[in-house]
Amino acid sequence: MKNIASALVKAQKAFGPALKTSTNPHFRSRYADLSACVEAVITGLNDNGIALIQQTHDSESGVCVETLFMHESGESLSAGKLHVPATKQDAQGYGSALTYARRYSLMAACGIAPEDDDGNAASRPSVPQARTTVTKVLSPATPKEDPSWYKKIESIIGDKAESATKYLISKGEIKDGHWWHDLNAGKYRDNLIVSPEKFLAAVAKWEASK
């Protein structure tokens, strides 16, 4: 393990932060996606003779990812296995779980964290109180409904979040500048909660008709 240990120390010195280049659909803030996480470490690893491998293992309820470092000397190091359940037993559910597992396994294995934007947030203009009120109005209000309903279907929406948002804006269900999770009570949100797949099918049909 001497060679790979020494190489990893040198590689970590070259790691950058995982840049927040994607939009969080709930807070409309930015987060580091999988490609940003890989980009933050791959050059440092490769320049020091280390190959990054993310191996998958069998799992009945989701996906299991193991991040491995292979050194050109033949030595290898495993960061352990990370299991992430799939919210839906279909291709999209497993795909979302795999992306999530790869991202967090990689960050943990390399010891990196997303770029800190707290300072940037502090320098932005204060959000008006009226905005806060609107956010509360748009939040789920029915007593029997889980107030975190969007989290349960966020992985199902996946990379269709932007399309779903534009679809809802075109239907007049949300205002421009809002995101799909801002959908207020009504048939569209009920359909999204009860059957996200049917909702995404409607989004796809709308996209195809443009």
Give the pLDDT confidence score for residue 134 in this predicted structure: 37
Give the pLDDT confidence score for residue 22 in this predicted structure: 53
Tokens of 171: 């239907």
- Computed over every residue of the chain, the mean pLDDT equals 75
Exposure string (b/e) for 186-203, b if CB count within 10 Å is 16 or more?
A: eebbeebbeebeebbebb
Of the CA atoms within 13 Å of residue 2, those in its CB half-sphere come to 0
Give the pLDDT confidence score for residue 193 in this predicted structure: 67
Note the pLDDT tens digit of each residue in 137-164: 333 434 334 445 566 676 677 777 788 8
Give the pLDDT confidence score for residue 23 in this predicted structure: 52
